[in-house]
Chains A and B, each alone.
Chain A
Amino acid sequence: MTMKISRTNTAAALWCLMIIGFALVPVLMTSTYQLNLACHVLIWGLFAVAFNMLWGVTGMLSFGQALYYGLGAYFVGLMVEYLGRAWYLPAIGIGILAAALTAFLLGLIVIRVGGVYFTMLTLAFGQLAWQIMFKWYEFTGGDDGIQGIIPPGILANPIVYYYGLLVLVMISIWMLKRMAYSPFGLILRCVRQNPERVRFLGRRVRRNQLRVYIISSLFAALAGSLMAGVDNSIHTDMFFWTTSGEVILMSVLGGLNQFFGPFVGAAVIIMIEDIVGAWTEYWSLIIGTVILVMVIAFPKGLVGELHQLKLRLTQLRARRSQ
């Protein structure tokens, strides 16, 4: 029992630290560029944490979450473009609903196959969505994207938008955390570890997989719709498979079996991408090599390996005191 209590205390402390840290960003950093960077970290952090519910928790490696991310972004972008700024906030809600519906329908098709097939199919459908958006130039603007997407009212102010974003992201992550630690989360983890046994407990494996798929995609769409207001533009790249890949890499880097791992991974990758991007365009080569090394040598990810280290140190200390 002692282990649990200290874990909750450390977790709560880190949680507070993180919120305070992010809350202070507009105060400490004056440049719009850095504010923009912080926005990216928050949004990708949410996207990655939501993705991890799918892979780290339930064991479903989807290579097509960009579809929902793009959907969220494009609902906002297209509705604002064609219907006016007043539709900005409703568009976020509608986009999320659309994503949930799409996830439900798509999930019905792809979840039945499982394993590698599932991954490749989500990739295929993601690319299909990208192709449609890319080629439908008249409607979506194709490769040019759509610019000038400005949130309504006071949200047009970047700092106000930032705080709104911070609140939404924190609430979302909090909701996902509750979910991860709930009976639903437990059943999902059991689905990953021993689906056959879950069936023997009288629970439906596929139904639970579908549920988490919809939930994860819902939050991916939210992340996308929030991003539209950060860069004030949308682009078909948001649907591209590399976007799906990016969120996977963030989760791996941070640690799959840790709830906050993907958030940390997102922050690290965005920071490093920012620094490295300045002097080389071969970012893929670098991140590819880093993740390669991680998969082979440090499969638990940054947070996971740190956690492991901490456990070992605690054990050593316990042994010494005996």
Chain B
Amino acid sequence: MDFSFFITQTISGLTMATLLFLVASGLTLIFGVGNVFNFAHGSFYMIGAYFGYQLVAVWEINFWLALVLAGIGAGLVGMLAEALFLRRIYGRPNEGGFQILLTYCFILIIDDVVKLVWGTEYKSLPRPHGFTGAVNFGDIFLPAYNLLIIGVGVVVVVAAWWILARTRPGKIARAAAVDREMVDTLGVNVPLTMTLVFGIATGLGGMTGALAAPLRTVTPGAGIEVIIDSLIVVVLGGMGNFWGAWLGAILIGEVNAFAVAFLPKWASLFSFLVMVIVLIFKPEGLFAPRQVRKV
């Protein structure tokens, strides 16, 4: 195994890790702050991908603008879904089961709506200008778009850290993750916060879908793959643990990248294996904080 191969695979892994993290972080955000498991999170990713396709491939809007708009679009759908439906089952007995059921209905509905509007053929999204080729570092050629994705990931991580640690809404979010009732008594509008958090998380997921679209084809049914991948990341990192999700994503991204290089057909099994091992020996997550949150 030579050096350039190693670098190429590592970068490929980081790209995947970034995408995984961007999605998983939204999932973990909704769960940590709102105590809701958004089973349909992958569907919002998919909505973002389709919005991206519509904006760029059909309406020929500027790629970067389309990314943002796709994210906003997915976020708006998410907020609607939360405010109109999810909100009505908060506080019910057996809430967890109903949450999954409700979000499962979202998946079913969104899947068919997407088919209705865009049909079932695979769609593709072209890379934006300037990022279609490869960048070379000596002997090593790295796809420019992949590097872009990694770059976006770094920006999001830094921005997220800054928001959570330094701004008031971020601090409220962290507080709500620890004790929701307390935050309520502080006068914060909890329902509104929930809807906003949901919107931000699904918006992020949607933007990721659009971002990932040039690398993968846009298809209906992508939602479930995404949620399972996110689940694996979140299991590794610990549910509700933002930084755990980041580390978990990197681990899975790399495991996957190298597995694909050696055993392409069965590569996806490796991430599973890692997850099963972690589950057997450390079910609360590899990077779980001292305070373990019981689901």
Contacts and interface: CB of A to CB of B under 8 A. Distances in A.
B112 to A, nearest CB: 4
A205 interface: no
Given A135-B265, A248-B101, A287 B228 contact: no
Nearest to A61: B97
B20 to A, nearest CB: 14
Nearest to A283: B112
A117 B239 contact: yes
Contacts of B94: 59
Interface string B247-280: 0000000000000000001101100100110011
Interface in B224-252: 224, 227-228, 231-232, 235, 239
Nearest to A288: B108
Contacts, number: 105
Interface stretch (A94-102, A107-115, A143-151): A107-115
A245 B224 CA distance: 12
Interface string A111-137: 011111101110110011001100100
B105 interface: yes
A279 interface: no
B89 interface: yes
A115 B112 contact: no
A289 B102 CA distance: 10
Nearest to B94: A59
Contacts of B107: 288
Interface string B153-166: 00000000000000
Contacts of B268: 131
Nearest to A118: B295
Contacts of B101: 248, 252, 291, 295
A245 B104 contact: yes
B230 to A, nearest CB: 9
B231 A248 contact: no
A88 interface: no
B100 interface: yes
A284 interface: yes
Interface string A239-250: 001000100100
A116 B100 contact: yes
Contacts of A117: 235, 239, 283, 295
Contact of B111 (A61, A113, A284, A296): A284
A55 B279 contact: no
A200 interface: no
B295 A284 contact: no
Contacts of A248: 101, 104
A296 B37 contact: no
Contact of B98 (A59, A128, A289, A295): A295
Nearest to A252: B101
Interface in A182-223: none
B125 to A, nearest CB: 24
Contacts of A112: 283
A67 to B, nearest CB: 13
Given A115-B295, A120-B231, A248-B104, A109 B279 contact: yes
Interface residues of A, number: 38
Contact of B105 (A59, A63, A295): A295
A292 interface: yes
B279 A121 contact: yes
Contacts of A292: 85, 102, 105, 109
A160 B133 CA distance: 65
Nearest to B294: A115
B109 A284 contact: yes
B31 to A, nearest CB: 8
Given A121-B279, A123-B228, A135-B266, A285 B105 contact: no
A289 B109 contact: yes
A109 B273 CA distance: 12
Interface in B211-232: 224, 227-228, 231-232
A110 B116 CA distance: 37
Given A124-B232, A295-B98, A299-B92, A282 B112 contact: yes
Interface in B136-161: none
B115 interface: yes
Contacts of A127: 224, 228
B113 interface: yes
Nearest to A112: B283
A282 B97 CA distance: 25
Contact of A128 (B108, B109, B272): B272
Given A292-B102, A295-B89, 11 more contacts: A55-B97, A59-B97, A109-B279, A110-B279, A113-B279, A114-B295, A115-B295, A116-B31, A116-B100, A288-B112, A292-B109
6 contacts: A119-B96, A123-B231, A124-B275, A248-B104, A291-B105, A296-B88
Interface of B: 31, 37, 39, 85, 88-89, 92, 94, 96-102, 104-109, 111-113, 115-116, 224, 227-228, 231-232, 235, 239, 265-266, 268-269, 272, 275-276, 279-280, 283, 294-295
Nearest 4 Cβ contacts at the A-B interface: A288-B108, A115-B295, A285-B112, A292-B105
Interface of A: 55, 59, 61, 63, 109-110, 112-117, 119-121, 123-124, 127-128, 131-132, 135, 241, 245, 248, 252, 282-285, 287-289, 291-292, 295-296, 299
